[in-house]
A and B are shown apart, each in its own frame.
Chain A
Amino acid sequence: MAEKSKVAFYWCASCGGCEEAMVDLAEDILQVVEKAEFVLWPVAMDFKREDVENLKDEEILVTFINGAVRTSEQEEMVRLLRKKSKILIAFGACAYTGGVPGLANCYSREEILNFYYKSGDTVFNPEDKKPTPHFIEGNFAFEIPEFYGRVYAVDQVVDVDYYIPGCAPTRKVVKNAIDALFSSQLPQKGSILGASSKSLCNECPLNETKPEKIYVKKFKRVDKTQPEPDKCLLIQGYPCLGPVTRGGCEALCVKANYPCTGCFGPLDDVKDYGAKAVSFLASIIDSNDEKEIEKIIDEGLSNPLAIVYRYSLPKSLIFDTKIKKNGG
């Protein structure tokens, strides 16, 4: 009997949703299990770091990493898994472009630690304790991972072979991706697996109602007003990012009457998703008057950064840099 291929899953700065996406494969996963032997999967199985360390280099066929990198432990694990794997895949928006945790790159580490250990409304910490890598409590000394000054996408830490987009990737996307991986010919290095190469609008059921030219006088928010059904959300004034987002999810959010927030990331040849989203959203504003344009932006697109970079701030052109080895 042929030996099974070794597969690993690992999570970094992750919400668990990507793990859930793997489990959601349900019977499809049996197909994977038939072909694969898991060597690491912290959420589901009891393997330890030593188990990975004891493997030969490149002994693992495929490693899937979800979550962004923010701590020294995550960096070490990602480097170790890179060394032990033939193919390394960034799984989900956080691993691919930094994801929601990446929005923290607007704040310094001190501001974040201060909020969570001191000034936050629900914090009770009279002794003013904060996590530090070497922590002494009574007779005990603890080593805890270091919390880095910013969040990194996985390819800012190690070389990544493929990306699976989505927050989280949908079942169909994961299945397509796995099929592509186990097919006779491997996709080109750097490919986005499982998704479409066209924009989301192409597969959106409301695309038929979308006119050639769109003008918006006022941007709306779903938490304030309810969209009409069966009409492109963008022409109703909801900042739907479908036109600049990679398809593949089958317009999941739009079908739930929620504008696309861009979790599948940029289309081919776009280097900076947020910049593209700025360009697109601004160009549909229906005014040529500076004061009026400002009003439309400030009323409807307040905190635009979280709109255009919800999933990709660490990979914005300005921040796109590799992690510095051994302390910056």
Chain B
Amino acid sequence: MNNNNNKFEPKILGIFCNWCTYLAADLAGVSRMDYPANIRIVRTMCSGRVDPQFIFWGFKNGADGILIGGCHPGDCHYIEGNYKTLRRYLLLKRVLKEIGINEKRLRLEWISASEGEKLQRVVREFTEEIRSLGPITEDRAFKLNLIEHKK
């Protein structure tokens, strides 16, 4: 947990929609496009299923960054699930900031089933960004509430 950024390997949680981003990850896999192994992917039927409680749970349990992947606007399998995701994401980022978690640790991307390359690029970029932010335990919310709280 020291500030040794060379050693720090961020843990990234990916929550991907079954119809788009999850398939893009599959495509990237079968096309042998490599991306950092820092990401652990969970599949949901729709990005609209991503309850903000999942995000808090993820951060609490060690995710340094969370990437939500959904279908492009207009392409949602359930018509407008991804618009709900967008609205929740924008409000959630503001709440995270006030709580004392760097809001850059949460990212939303629209990645369709055919965009294996975009997936590769986004995961690489995001992993580097989170690496530069350091472990989530460095964030204010963790310091104030989970680490030094008594004394």
| Real binding pair | yes
Q: Which residues of A contact B (CB under 8 A)?
A: 105-108, 148-150, 270-272, 274-276, 278-279, 281-283, 285, 287-288, 290, 293-294, 297-298, 301, 303-305, 308-309, 313-314, 316-321, 323-324, 327-328
Q: Once bound together, how far apart are the Cα atoms of A285 and B84, in whole Å?
A: 9
User: How many residues of chain B get a CB closer than 8 Å to chain A's CBs?
Assistant: 33
Which residue on B lies nearest to A149, using beta carbons? B149
Q: Are A319 and B87 interface neighbours, CB within 8 A?
A: no
A-chain residues with CB within 8 Å of residue B57 when the two chains form the complex? 271, 317
Q: How far is the CA of A158 from the CA of B53 in the complex (A)?
A: 25
Chain A residue with Cβ nearest B88? A282
Q: CB within 8 Å of A: which of B85-132?
A: 86-88, 90-92, 94-95, 98-101
Measured CA separation A323–B151 after assembly (Å): 11
Q: How far is the CA of A281 from the CA of B73 in the complex (A)?
A: 20
When the two chains form their complex, are residues B88 and A278 in contact, meaning their CB atoms are under 8 A apart? Answer: yes
A293 B60 Cβ-Cβ under 8 A: no
What are 18 inter-chain pairs, A to B, with CB distance below 8 A?
Answer: A106-B98, A106-B100, A106-B144, A149-B144, A150-B144, A270-B53, A272-B56, A275-B56, A278-B95, A279-B88, A282-B88, A282-B91, A305-B98, A317-B60, A318-B60, A318-B99, A323-B150, A327-B151
- Asked if B86 contacts A290 (CB within 8 A), the reply is yes
Q: How far is the CA of A304 from the CA of B149 in the complex (A)?
A: 24
How long is the Cα–Cα vector from A83 to B51 in the complex, in angstroms? 38
Q: Which of B80, B94, B145 contacts A319 (CB 8 A)?
A: B145
Instruction: Give the A-binding residues of B (Cβ under 8 A).
Output: 51-53, 55-57, 59-60, 73, 80, 83-84, 86-88, 90-92, 94-95, 98-101, 141, 144-151
Q: Is the CB of A279 within 8 A of B141?
A: no
Q: Give the CA-CA distance A76 to B101 in the complex, in Å.
A: 31
In the complex, A225 Cα to B143 Cα: how many Å? Answer: 39
**Other A-B pairs beyond A149-B151, A297-B91, A305-B95, 11, CB < 8 Å:** A106-B98, A274-B95, A278-B91, A282-B91, A288-B80, A313-B99, A317-B60, A319-B145, A319-B146, A323-B149, A324-B149
Report which residue of A107, A275, A320, A328 has the largest number of chain B beta carbons within 10 angstroms of its beta carbon. Answer: A275
Residues of A within 8 A of B59 (CB): 318
B contact residues around A317 at 8 Å (CB): 53, 56-57, 60
* CB–CB A297/B149 < 8 A: no
Contact call A328/B53, Cβ cutoff below 8 A: no
Please determine whether A293 and B87 come into contact, CB atoms closer than 8 angstroms.
yes
| Interface of chain A, main secondary structure | mixed
A149 — which chain B residues lie within 8 A by C-beta?
A: 144, 148-151
The distance from the CB of A277 to the nearest CB of chain B, in whole angstroms, is 9
Which residue of A has the minimal Cβ distance to B53? A275
A276 surroundings in chain B (CB, below 8 A): 51-53
Are B88 and A283 in contact (CB-based, < 8 A)? yes
Q: Which residue of A lies closest to B94 (CB)?
A: A304
Complex CA distance for A281 and B99, rounded to whole angstroms: 18
* Minimum-distance CB pairs A-B, first 9: A328-B150, A305-B98, A317-B56, A275-B52, A282-B87, A282-B88, A282-B91, A275-B53, A319-B145
Q: Which residues of chain B are near A279, meaning CB under 8 Å?
A: 51-53, 88
Bound complex: CA A294 to CA B94 (Å) = 10
Is the Cβ of A288 less than 8 Å from the Cβ of B73?
yes
Which residues of chain B come closer than 8 Å to A283, judged between CB atoms?
A: 84, 87-88
Known: A303-B98, A318-B141, A324-B150. A285 touches B87 (CB 8 A): yes
Task: Evaluate contact between B150 and A327: CB separation under 8 angstroms.
Answer: yes
Which residues from B are CB-within-8-Å of A282?
84, 87-88, 90-92
B87: nearest chain-A partner, CB-CB:
A282
**A209 to B52, alpha carbons, bound, how many Å?**
29
| Cβ-closest chain A residue relative to B136 | A318
